[in-house]
């Protein structure tokens, strides 16, 4: 049994962590922090967790958190980097769900996130937490940067094509839709239901913060620079990411069995499900689960490959993936605590 702490336990990813960890047989939820709700019990604020989580919110304090074996940061960008070094020095493993350690270049991080990085020396020590790519490195890691929701869906969708060099990596397109929970729990006009309901829009077309993270991952897989057009959209649903990905087959790869390529790549991955030919994944079929469902299409048998990749942005796109990472770091079965089927309807 390990002791886990959660910094930022009142946002959507923090509450999702609580829900998942409450059912994990190897985890004791020891510390849950909140600056605004310190002193309140978790069950008071979230009655859905009554009889599952007994913790009381406390202020974030390194000495209290140092009593844990692992600390999750479910916080806004710029918070984990202020505390991670002190926790690592005390022997605590750190799993960061924010973007603080995802980018390998501190200057690039500053350009996209608008503040100086507080501990750039830790960036190179952080392991990028996409298990389907970095499983062995995660097992040895002390600090893990969990991928964003958009990057998870996009990278898992493109990886088999990129790794085998069968597409033109200079002309990739990711057209991706997200539910409004991806914007967080803060009160904001643009994400009110009366503003998002019965509507659909693209945003940050000129450049989304997740773009450099996706390019970094795909470039690593390709072992050469890639070029990607990434357009995110906001949809009037609570949970879910649907990534529609476009790539052009290299001219000498026209007879390649793309379906088999994907099935072989993810054959042993417990949370990536490659659907049979002709099917279309639906976000509702992964809702509440740690699964990524992928389908591959080749319209009219041409050179264009269309990959459809869906996840729950709060689970495989955030908290579920963080628990998957924790399982690897502590030698638990990778799927432990995460085998819940998707919610239906």
25: domain CATH number? 3.40.50.720
Mean pLDDT along residues 241-258: 90
| Residue 49 and residue 194 in one domain | no
pLDDT, residue 182, reads 79
- Are 185 and 106 in a shared domain? no
Residues 62, 211: one domain?
no
How many domains in the chain?
2
**What average pLDDT score do residues 118-124 get?**
95
Tell me the catalytic residues. 149
Does residue 253 surpass a pLDDT of 80?
A: no
Domain with 67 in it: 2-125
Give percent of the chain with pLDDT exceeding 70.
98
Residue 310 has pLDDT above 70, yes or no: yes
* Domain stops at, among 109, 125, 141: 125
Whole-number pLDDT of residue 254: 64
pLDDT, tens only, 153-195: 999 999 999 999 999 999 999 999 999 887 776 667 777 767 7
**Residue 14 above 70 pLDDT?**
yes
The full length of the chain comes to 345
Please report the pLDDT score of residue 345 as a whole number: 84
Q: Kindly state whether residues 244 and 294 are assigned to the same domain.
A: yes
Q: Please choose, from the candidates 202, 198, 180, 177, the residue with its C-alpha nearest in 3D space to the C-alpha of residue 189.
A: 180
Q: Are residues 207 and 261 in the same domain?
A: yes
Taking the model in full, what pTM does it have?
Answer: 0.96
Residue 126 has a pLDDT of 98
* CATH number of the domain to which 304 belongs: 3.30.360.10
Residues 160 and 299 in one domain: yes
Tens of pLDDT, residue by residue over 314-334, are 999 999 999 999 999 999 999
The answer to whether position 143 is within a domain reads: no
Quote the mean pLDDT of the chain.
95
């Amino acid at each position: 049994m390990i002791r886990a702490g959660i910094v930022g336990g009142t946002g959507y990813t923090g509450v999702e962590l609580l829900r998942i960890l409450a059912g994990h047989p190897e985890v004791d939820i020891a510390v849950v922090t909140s600056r605004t709700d310190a002193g309140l019990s978790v069950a008071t604020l979230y009655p859905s967790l009554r009889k599952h989580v007994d913790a009381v919110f406390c202020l974030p304090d390194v000495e209290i958190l140092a009593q844990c074996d692992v600390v999750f940061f479910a916080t806004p960008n710029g918070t984990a980097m202020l505390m991670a070094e002190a926790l690592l020095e005390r022997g605590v493993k750190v799993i960061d769900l924010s973007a603080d350690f995802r980018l390998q270049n501190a200057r690039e991080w500053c350009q996209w996130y608008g503040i100086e990085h507080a501990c750039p020396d830790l960036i190179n020590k952080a392991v990028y937490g996409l298990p389907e790519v970095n499983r062995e490195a995660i097992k040895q890691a002390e600090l893990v940067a969990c991928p964003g929701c958009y990057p998870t869906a996009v990278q898992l969708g493109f990886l088999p094509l990129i790794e085998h060099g069968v597409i033109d990596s200079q002309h990739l397109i990711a057209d991706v839709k997200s539910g409004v929970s991806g914007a967080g729990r803060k009160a904001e006009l643009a994400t009110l239901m009366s503003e998002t309901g019965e509507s659909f829009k693209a945003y940050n077309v000129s450049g989304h913060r997740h773009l450099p993270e996706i390019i970094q991952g795909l470039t690593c897989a390709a072992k050469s620079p890639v070029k990607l057009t990434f357009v995110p959209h906001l949809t009037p649903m609570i949970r879910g990411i649907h990534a529609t990905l476009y790539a052009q087959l290299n001219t000498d790869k026209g007879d390649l069995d793309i379906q088999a390529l994907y099935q072989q790549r993810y054959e042993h991955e417990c949370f990536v499900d490659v659907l049979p030919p002709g099917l279309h994944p639906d976000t509702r079929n992964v809702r509440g689960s740690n699964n990524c469902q992928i389908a591959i299409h080749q319209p009219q048998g041409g050179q264009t490959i269309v990959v459809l990749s869906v996840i729950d942005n709060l689970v495989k796109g955030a908290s579920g993936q963080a628990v998957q990472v924790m399982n690897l770091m502590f030698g638990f079965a990778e799927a432990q605590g995460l085998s819940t089927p998707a919610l239906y309807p």
